[in-house]
Amino acid sequence: MTKKICIICTLVLIATIIFSIFVYYYNYCCWTSVFNSSFGALNALFSGLAFGVVIVTLYWQQQDSYNKSFESNLYKQIEFFITLTENLSYKNSDGADCYEGKGRDIFEWFYTKKKYFVNGRDDLLGLKEKLRNNSRFFLNDSATNIFDSYFNYLFNIYSYIDKSKLEPTEQQGYANQLTALLTQYELLLIYYYIESLKDCIDQKKYGKLSELCIKYHIFKNLNKADLANPNHENLINTKAFI
């Protein structure tokens, strides 16, 4: 924002000087009196400066109005996202894998405790074990569709920030506020969700979401030691971790 203001002020100042010079020479040619010419030049200069101030003021007011509107809408979206996360619920009545949870606890349960049966035995606990040898397993488990609205809304907010007219540093600042709300297990499921999209027919979604992850360093708070496999550190561009 500051950079834009400086550019506009500079352009207005240049335009004012050119305008003043033009009016000065116009007055000089049209008036025989030196006094009148000088007075006309000063008048033109002050008029030009006043015009420049008006232009900058109008721009500043417009930008300030946009910022307030953007911020208000953003915080409403984040508030809804928090509510959506808190209201997530999952219930499994299967005796061997009985579980009922709500909110952020579900993320941890899915990643570390959900039972997966191999050869009739519940040998594997958590998505982490299934992901260890198949980093794109996430969407293979139909139970993970309970997170669909969560993922969609989260990245809609990042997209809203990305499409704003704000300076990159301001966009990053707002994105950081959103990222700070995400717990470790949320980040882990988001990470493997993005990875699993590589197997989808429509690669546009993967491309867009991974781009947002990289641009806004969404995984900078992710503890790589919690990944299902040490070799998974580079599944997404390392810039997403910076």
Task: Kindly give the confidence (pLDDT) of every residue in the chain, 242 residues in length, as a single tens digit, with 9 standing for 90 and above.
Answer: 455 555 655 665 566 666 555 555 555 555 444 445 555 555 655 565 665 666 666 555 566 678 899 999 999 999 999 999 999 999 887 666 788 899 999 999 999 998 887 665 556 678 999 999 999 999 989 899 999 999 999 999 999 999 999 999 999 999 999 999 999 999 999 999 999 999 887 788 999 999 999 999 999 999 999 999 999 998 998 889 98
What CA dihedral angle connects 136, 139, 144 and 150, to 10 degrees?
90
Choose the final residue of a domain: 66, 96, 112. 66
pLDDT digits (tens, 9 = 90+) for 158-198: 999 999 999 999 999 999 999 999 999 999 999 999 999 99
Shared domain for 100 and 62, answered yes or no, is: no
In a domain, 78, yes or no: no
Find tokens 């995984």 and name the residue: 219
pTM of this structure: 0.76
Domain boundary among 37, 66, 95: 66
Q: Are residues 161 and 95 in the same domain?
A: yes
Answer yes or no: is 75 within a domain. Answer: no
Q: Does residue 73 lie within any of the structural domains?
A: no
User: Residue 28 and residue 201: Cα distance in Å, rounded?
Assistant: 72
Total structural domains within the chain = 2
- Domain enclosing residue 121, as ranges: 87-241
CA distances from 17 to 23, 90, 99 (A): 10, 68, 74
Q: Do residues 188 and 103 share a domain?
A: yes
139 and 29, same structural domain? Answer: no
User: Is residue 29 domain-shared with residue 114, that is, in the same domain?
Assistant: no
- The answer to whether the CB of 157 falls within 8 A of the CB of 78 is yes
Q: Is 99 left (phi over 0), alpha (psi -120 to 50) or beta?
A: beta
Residue 206 included in any domain: yes
Q: Does the residue 215 lie in any domain?
A: yes
Please tell me whether residues 160 and 41 are part of one structural domain.
no
Go through 80-91 and write b for each residue having 16 or more CB atoms within 10 A of its CB, e for each that does not.
Answer: ebeeebeebebe
Beta strands in 36-192 (DSSP E): 89-92, 99-102, 115-118, 121-125
Q: In the chain, what are the helix, strand and coil shares in percent, each to the nearest 5?
A: 75, 5, 20
Task: Decide if 77 is inside a domain.
Answer: no
Contact 16, 51 (CB under 8 A): yes
Question: Residue type for 160, please?
Answer: Y
Asked if residue 223 is part of any domain, the answer here is yes
217 three-class SS: coil
> Is position 80 within any domain?
no
State residue 118 phi and psi, 5-degree precision: -125, 120
* 126/52 same-domain check: no
Same structural domain for residues 62 and 91?
Answer: no
Task: Verify that 95 and 215 share a domain, yes or no.
Answer: yes
Whether 60 and 98 map to the same domain: the answer is no
Coil, strand or helix at 181? coil
Which amino acid, one-letter code, is at 90?
Y
Task: Based on the fold, state whether residues 51 and 127 are members of the same structural domain.
Answer: no
Please check whether residues 62 and 96 belong to one and the same domain. Answer: no
